[in-house]
Amino acid sequence: MVTMTPERWDSTSSYINVVLGDSDSDLDAMRARTKSEGLPDIAISSGVGHALTLLVRAALTRVALEVGTLGGYSAAWIARGLDRDGRLITIEREPAYAAFAARELAGLSLGPKIEVRQGDALAVLGGLEEELGAESLDFAFVDADKSQYLDYWRAIDPCLKPGAIFVADNALGTGSWWIDERVQVSRGKHLLRRKGGPSIPGEEPGRGREVANLSSCEEVTPPVE
């Protein structure tokens, strides 16, 4: 098994940021306001933002979902990749963060495409299939309570179209923790475990979904970040 290390993490994140592009002045300003309003500075990097835009575009996304809005920074990157008639639903538990994000996103030209839903992720996700219909999502990004990722996956899975893209942050790790053997051993269990294929255990193969490293997740218990 190849493990993530601090050195590999630094190289990986620098590589992503160099290859995928610079930050963006509008979104930098949004991020700065997020900090000055006292929200935690734990949004994705601009490199990951570019990657999200690309993935959303690659999936020809008409309907996208995000779990974990914070101040709306990643939602803005996702919205940039949507089809002309596309829409994004983004879920945030903290009322103050959801209100901040709704205000900020409404100020962007893409604002009308984005709906911020305040509530607990699992409660909101519980009604999603009935609301949107089965196999209606082209793209999903989860970036909330890492201990609930498997539950998010189970709730979102019936809503994903065949070929949809599901992205789980931080599948590789972050600047402060890594999915490596030391962490796994110290916690006495595996955080994410690959079983060598892109299918979900128990699911029939060949539906063509991309499931970023969560594909074989048995237990996900990294720190919430």
- CA 151 vs. chain centroid, Å, equals 14
In the complex, minimum distance from the CB of residue 49 to ligand SAM, in angstroms, rounded to a whole number: 8
| Dist. CA 205–CA 202, nearest whole Å | 9
Asked if 145 is part of the footprint of ligand SAM (rule: CB under 6 A), the reply reads: yes
- CA 135 vs. chain centroid, Å, equals 19
Asked if 140 is part of the footprint of ligand SAM (rule: CB under 6 A), the reply reads: no
| Dist. CA 146–CA 154, nearest whole Å | 14
In the complex, minimum distance from the CB of residue 81 to ligand SAM, in angstroms, rounded to a whole number: 15
Nearest Cα neighbor of 49 from 26, 176, 60, 34 is 26
Asked if 42 is part of the footprint of ligand SAM (rule: CB under 6 A), the reply reads: yes
| Dist. CA 163–CA 172, nearest whole Å | 22
| Dist. CA 130–CA 209, nearest whole Å | 21
In the complex, minimum distance from the CB of residue 46 to ligand SAM, in angstroms, rounded to a whole number: 10
Asked if 139 is part of the footprint of ligand SAM (rule: CB under 6 A), the reply reads: no
Give the helix/strand (H/E) hosting 25: helix 25-36
**44 or 88: CB nearest ligand SAM:** 44
Of 16-24, 104-112, 139-147, 211-219, which part binds ligand SAM (CB under 6 A)? 139-147
Asked if 94 is part of the footprint of ligand SAM (rule: CB under 6 A), the reply reads: yes
In the region spanning residues 68 to 87, those forming contacts with ligand SAM, defined by CB under 6 A, are 68, 70, 73-74
Binding site for ligand SAM (CB under 6 A): 42-44, 68, 70, 73-74, 91-94, 97, 120-121, 143-145, 225
